[in-house]
Chain A
Amino acid sequence: MFGLFAKAPAARRDYSDCSGCSLCFLVCPMWRDRHDPSFTPEGLAKALQCGATASALAAPLDACSLCGACDPVCPERIDLSGMIMNLRRQLASSAAPSRPAVLDDLRTRLRRDIIAGSAVSRSAPVLLPGSDLRTAPALLARVQALLGLTVVEDDGADISLALEAGVEIPQARLQGFLASLRGHSIVAEDGLLLRQLRRWLPGSQRMGLGAALSSRTALRGKLGASDLYVIEPRAYHADHERMVAYYNRLQIETGCTLSLDLQRIAIPAVAQSLSQRLGLVPGDDPGQANWILQGSKATRIVVETLADRAAFERVSDLPVLHIADLAGSLK
């Protein structure tokens, strides 16, 4: 399953290299929602070029969903989502008077003792289920059975949230987490964590949960031409070069429609701002899910994440299935 390795990512450039081509606008959910250049990666890069500080950019920094769609389309190879995460770190470390309590809780969690590594035999493939999948134990058990993976206790959900919110991750916590993963092949549900693991563990074998499941013949065989298959965007964009080839094959083999735009960039079904993700403001804007469905003739929607399942159930009467549910009953 993990026979082939991911290559270490090539060095990327920074905001000073932005030449203003606006290609990132075309794939940016913030742009789709607002049509305001200051709410785009280019807008942020240009503002930085003009000397803006993170606090002057607080609104677009909060609005970004970190879907990562801008990274593969940038012709200058600027690490745009890295730039945004970096700015969020600057913002979070500045002594903002109204710092949400949820971030203080997160800081406390990150300082807790390192969870002892569970008894996972060395080099066995492991599954990092992430906070969403843990809320659905039956689905998690099914995923585990389908993939034959060991679920690790410490799945780095706190680290992922810290990455998202720009909260500093104590070295002890990070190193402890990475130590427990070294030598294992990793399947992660959380695309943001997967993106970061690519940098933190460059020699490791990693895969997003959606790709891991859809590559199983038992599940793949159940996909057909009347399905709309919705890809989890973060894992897809973090490894775009390979994922685009992988899903292209999936489409050719099964005939399903993919939630990709004309540039083969994944359209996020859910594009939550940081405040929404932290639960500070409500957020179930149907705009993105509706855009994916516009003009679609599919009679069934297959998703890779529970958040996407909920999003489509809100806007569509079509059956919405998690990819793991395609297998029918498991013995």
Chain B
Amino acid sequence: MLKIPSVEPGTVGPCPVAHDALQGIKRQQTNPARWNGAGWGGFVTALRAAGVELAEGAVACGVYATDAGGTAYGLPHGVVLARNAEQIAVLLKAAQAHRVPVTVRGGGLTTEGESVAFGGVLLDMAGMSRVLRIDATALTVRTEAGIFWHSLAEELRRENLDYLSAPLNLTSSVGGTLGVGGIDVNSARLGCSADQAVSLQVVTPTGEIVECSDGENAELFQRVILGYGQFGIITEATLRVRPYTPISMHYYYYSSLRTAIEDLQMLDQNDASDYSGILTIMDCAVNLLVAFDSDQREAAFRGNWQARLRGHGEFGFALCMLGHYALRPWKLAEAMYLLRRKREVFPEFHRAEFINDGYMRDRSVVFSRAVWKHWGSRNMVIPDLATTAERLSRRSNAATRCAASISRITRCIASASGCARTIGRITKCPASLRPRKSGRMAVNSSRSSKALYTAAIISRPSRTQFTTSASIWAPVTTASAA
């Protein structure tokens, strides 16, 4: 096993997102020591002799220097672009023989270096991105596992179909997400992304290519789902899909995170909406989004639940904020920050090209674009995982507190899905709030069995590591053109 050296904890600099966030909080740098490269030459020769292409050097490896979190940096010795299961089997067998660590990478959207290679070979699953079969009758799709959910959506949409649930970021891969869980704004209803998996093709650490599902090699299936890549590499997946529907959106604004979360729980416990989630800017400015697949569901919500929500509409909230800050003139800077943020972020949710007849065409596109633009990459705030939920909740940052309260309520799904690491900015409704849902059950059973098996698998003799206006161009009239 790789040894993780203790690193002098640094402190997080001023946060570009929220000026009161995480300042002075200690953070652990997650780099383990780099693999020393013993046996690399022999490995490369064996691989090339078997016809597997491997790229070396800074240009080829530089793309993989870090993940979306940017807290861990490391370069592999070489990169293999996944092409098919047989090639991966050859790679893993050679890695076993030469004791070379293998890191699997999908979209690389982990935030703590799980998809960063600290030496060894990096297997980039993106090379396996084809959709193999869409069965519109059985409502399933068979796809290579390196595909980004968004690319899958592009293909499904041509058949008027949609996936069930996927992370809101466009560039997480199917394999990477099945390996960590995946939460969407409909996960309270439809389960986590991994729940869509009907069957998988997996290359085991010893290089066997195995098809698995609940009925076939069930144990492997249950390990690999939410297995962080530790139990095998997912090369193909059969997923459940559903007919595509545009959705109708409602937004409610809260000045209290607690109230927003309580209302979210109320909606989910009563199955009152098809989609629900919370977007935070600060503790005192929280957006609860609620959405529907059908007019009937929306009408039922209006009739039964809407009046029970304590959030405001946009105008009412603006008035509320005006009153709040009028009484606290010394908080002018904060008020200005919120106003600026509102001006930047809100238009993203109402862009005309993503709305058709009042319905949002594609939730992932709208929210993912906003997430990357306003919460992702350089704006990323990552709560320190080493911190307990109790300590987290004492921090003033809305995102971290939300993450903490969610993780208190739903510790298992948040940690299993990697959600607690990444929801610093967008916090979706936790599936485990709803006891009837398969998402929670899958995570629970998977986690408990994994706890039993992890030690055994990691300490196997194998050295293979799976680190895991009406504007500008208004129609020209003949008269004006002439």
Contacts and interface: CB of A to CB of B under 8 A. Distances in A.
A26 B126 contact: no
Contact of B171 (A6, A21, A215, A248): A21
Given A246-B472, A264-B354, 9 more contacts: A20-B108, A22-B107, A23-B170, A35-B129, A36-B126, A36-B127, A47-B58, A52-B58, A244-B353
A87 interface: no
Contacts of A38: 55, 59-60, 63
A294 B365 CA distance: 20
A245 interface: yes
Contact of B126 (A37, A148, A212): A37
B59 A56 contact: yes
A17 B58 CA distance: 18
B133 interface: no
A262 B365 contact: yes
Contacts of B365: 262-263
Interface in B134-178: 146, 148, 150-151, 153-155, 157-159, 170-171
A217 interface: yes
B476 A216 contact: yes
Given A26-B170, A262-B365, A49 B481 contact: no
Contact of A21 (B62, B376, B477): B376
A22 B105 CA distance: 13
Given A4-B474, A215-B476, A262 B157 contact: yes
Interface in A206-229: 207, 211-212, 215-218, 220
A196 B373 CA distance: 26
7 contacts: A4-B472, A21-B377, A22-B171, A75-B372, A215-B473, A215-B474, A245-B352
B158 A295 contact: yes
B353 A245 contact: yes
A231 to B, nearest CB: 13
Contacts of B362: 262
B59 A26 contact: no
B469 interface: yes
B369 interface: yes
A207 B472 CA distance: 10
Interface string A74-118: 011000000000000000000000000000000000000000000
Contacts of A242: 469, 471-473
B470 interface: yes
Contacts of B475: 215-217, 220, 249
B471 A26 contact: no
B105 to A, nearest CB: 10
B159 A295 contact: yes
A51 B376 contact: no
A215 to B, nearest CB: 4
| Residue picked from B66, B128, B373, B473, most chain A C-beta under 10 Å | B473
Interface string A192-216: 0000000000000001000110011
Contacts, number: 146
Interface in B19-58: 55, 58
Contacts of B171: 21-23, 25-26
A248 B155 CA distance: 21
A249 B58 contact: no
A281 interface: no
**8 nearest CB pairs, A to B:** A295-B158, A50-B62, A19-B377, A50-B58, A75-B372, A22-B171, A46-B63, A246-B473
B481 A1 contact: yes
A43 interface: yes
Contacts of B448: none
Interface residues of A, number: 54
Contacts of B70: 19
A294 B154 CA distance: 10
Interface string B255-292: 00000000000000000000000000000000000000
Which has the most chain B C-beta neighbours within 10 Å: A35, A50, A147, A261? Answer: A35
B479 to A, nearest CB: 10
Given A3-B480, A20-B66, A26-B148, A248 B353 contact: yes
Contact of A245 (B59, B127, B158, B471): B471
Interface string B58-94: 1111110111101000000000010000000000000
B482 interface: yes
Contacts of A218: 478
B63 A47 contact: yes
Given A20-B108, A23-B170, A262 B480 contact: no
B127 A6 contact: no
B302 interface: no
Interface string A1-40: 1011110000000000101111101100000000111100
Given A262-B365, A264-B354, A42 B63 contact: yes
A5 B70 CA distance: 41
